[in-house]
Amino acid sequence: MSEPSESSDWDMEVDDESEDLPEPALIRQKSYTILHLSEIEQRVNEIASEYSELLGISKDEALILLTHYHWKLHKLQDSWLDNEMRVRIEAGILLPPAGYEVAKSRGKKLGSIKLVRGTEGCCQICYENKLDRDALQCGHSYCKSCWRQYLENLLYERTIAGGKCPMHSCPLKVPESMILGYLQGEKAENYKRLKCEEFINQNQAYRWCPAPGCSYVVEYENLGVHGISCKCGYFFCFACGEEAHRPVSCNLVKSWIVKNSAESENITWIIANTKQCPKCRNPIEKNQGCNHMTCRREVNGCGHEFCWLCLGPWTDHNSATGGFYKCNKYDELMSGTNNAFKQEESKREKAKTELDKYIWYFERYNNHHKAQKIASEKQVPAMEEKMQELHDFKQYPIGELEFLKQAAEQVIKCRRVLKWTYCFGYYLKSGAEKDLFEHLQEKLEENTEHLHELVEKPLDEFMSADVIDRSPFYQHKSELTNYFQVTKTFMEHLLDGIENGLTA
């Protein structure tokens, strides 16, 4: 167990010139907002209203233009200033007039999209005579039940944002007021959700919380690696959408995840542990032990028996060639001039060491991952229960018990950081940087284990009805709070250090 006060001021050299550099702590200040989908909708409507006023068009039209320009506001404004008519035509709120030429259309002001009430005639979808028909500016009129069916189908196909007149190759878009006139209740809500999704997906400043089932959205202005803590409790990276992963870069996280997928790892394993049968080329796995291999017929093999090391027929082997566990022929081959054989062997050896190295890091990564999961799924809720009991039975104010939860949450944070340091360490080249890194990683591990023990200390002794003296409780509080602070500071320093270079 390490002494907490020592580790708070660790032996790493602190760069005094850091004030001249961009202050990392500043970038990490909370500069994001967690929004509910209804707040996104409000934002979408605000922008549409703003552009309706700015461009002197209806809100329906503004929404169509914004959707057409993928919510790239500057691009819309520039294009509008350049050629208003062209923007209207391309976005589908205006039919190109006869003899339309882009060059001559600059500077023209135009009317608005409007609904046309059809006169008696045939609906072009159901072919029935219906009086009550709707049409856009193009005059392609359809009966109300066909419009409804058409719009419901667009909703079902998730193409309703940007949906066009049902007439083949008619470019006019269906305005929102009309969509909402035909779709009610749950369908209207689905439409609004799709509209918001469109907005979020097109906008770099927004991202869905990646936690399964969570429908919060983050709004974030400063693009870059950034841990976002969602209202649902998930802590994720805004840049790549994975779980927050300091001190590792998004790219390394990506490679690590790919590496961890069973498929890619199997390939390394196969290279390290299998050879092809020299006769039928079937892959054969070596399970340890003796060099006598049989290409087994049960698994589509040919029955050929050979030596694992030199790949020669087993019939050529006997006690004179080294017996079952050694192969002199192999030694000869390796010291001889057969380069192809040697290359093949060194590839296998490399794969084997590479695999061992990977397994070593992965096991540690995975252990912290599991501990982190247990701590967040079991320990934090259990701690909250204990806090309530202490409050209910012993009348400690809730505010005085907060430290228990904070400490439990710190354990989770440490586990997560430790987990990612094993990904970081796997990719870090050997050298002074790595030596120092591993030393500090070990210290953080010690601190975390100790903090974890303290957090897990049973609180029953403070709970009993006949305990009147509160000083043991406050002593525990001061010990835990102190250790929590020390560990937290150490972790922060380690993260900053790794990100800025420990030996730099």
Partner 1 sequence: MLSRAQKRLQREFEEMTRHYQDTFPVEIPENDTNRMTWYVSFIGAEGSIFAGERYTLEFRFSDNYPIEAPDVIFRGAYPHHEHVYSNGYICLSILYDDWSPSMKVSSVVMSIQSMLSSATRKSRPANDASFVSYAGGRSPKTFNWIFEDEKC
Query: Catalytic site residues?
Result: 290
Over the Cα atoms of the chain, what is R_g?
A: 34
In the bound state with partner 1, the residue whose beta carbon lies nearer, of 4 and 166, is 166
> Quick check: 173 binds Zn ion (CB under 5 A)?
no
Secondary structure in 3-state letters for 322-383: CCCCCCHHHHHHHHCCCHHHHHHHHHHHHHHHHHHHHHHHHHHHHHHHHHHHHHHHHHHHHH
Cβ–Cβ < 8 Å for 177, 60: yes
Tell the residue number behind the tokens 């409007």, with chain if given. 114
Q: How many CA atoms lie within 13 A of 274 on its CB side?
A: 14
The SS3 of residue 59 is: helix
CB of 380 within 8 A of CB of 409? Answer: yes
Total residues at interface with partner 1 (CB under 8 A): 16
| Three-state DSSP state, 116 | strand
Q: Show the binding pattern over residues 162-201: x = contacts partner 1 (CB under 8 A), - = does not.
A: ----xxxxx-------------------------------
**Of 170 and 214, which has the nearer Cβ to partner 1?**
170
Least distance (Å) from Zn ion to the CB of residue 113?
11
Binding flag, residue 170, Zn ion (CB under 5 A): yes
Determine, following the binding rule CB under 5 A, whether residue 165 of this chain makes contact with Zn ion.
Answer: yes
Distance CA 286, CA 294 (A): 10
Residue 242 has a CB neighbour count (10 Å cut-off) of: 15
Binding mask of the shown chain, residues 232 to 261, with x at each position contacting Zn ion by CB under 5 A = x-x--x-xx---------x-----------
The number of beta carbons lying within 10 Å of the beta carbon of residue 58 is: 18
Give 219's strand partners. 33, 206
The Cα 76–Cα 274 span in angstroms is 60
Residue 127 engages partner 1 in binding (rule: CB under 8 A): yes
Work out which of 34, 115, 150, 391 binds partner 1, going by CB under 8 A.
150
Residue number, 242 or 449, with CB nearest to Zn ion: 242
> For residues 308 and 291, is the Cβ–Cβ distance under 8 A?
yes
Binding range to Zn ion, per CB under 5 A, among 104-112, 178-186, 228-236, 474-482: 228-236
Query: Can you tell me which of 153, 215, 366, 475 binds partner 1, judged by CB under 8 A?
Result: 153
Please give the helix or strand (H or E) that residue 152 lies within, else none.
helix 144-156
Least gap, CB of 208 to partner 1 (angstroms): 25
* By CB under 5 A, residue 125 contacts Zn ion: yes
Q: Near partner 1 by CB under 8 A, which window of 21-29, 142-150, 343-351, 434-442?
A: 142-150
Residues 6+ apart with CB under 8 A from 463: 389, 390, 393, 394
Give the number of residues in contact with Zn ion, rule: CB under 5 A. 22
140 binds Zn ion (CB under 5 A): yes
Contact partner at residue 116 from Zn ion, partner 1, none, CB < 5 to 8 Å by partner kind:
none
* Binding span for Zn ion by CB under 5 A among 20-28, 92-100, 125-133, 345-353: 125-133
Omega cis (within 30) before 247:
yes
User: How many Å apart are CA 119 and CA 100, to the nearest integer?
Assistant: 28
**Interface map 79-118 toward partner 1 (x if CB under 8 A):** ----------------------------------------
Part in contact with partner 1 (CB under 8 A); list of ranges 105-113, 125-133, 225-233, 400-408: 125-133
**Residues interacting with Zn ion, by CB under 5 A?**
123, 125-126, 138, 140, 143, 146, 165, 167, 170, 172, 209, 211, 214, 216, 230, 232, 234, 237, 239-240, 250
User: Where does this chain bind partner 1 (CB under 8 A)?
Assistant: 124-128, 140, 145-146, 149-150, 153, 166-170
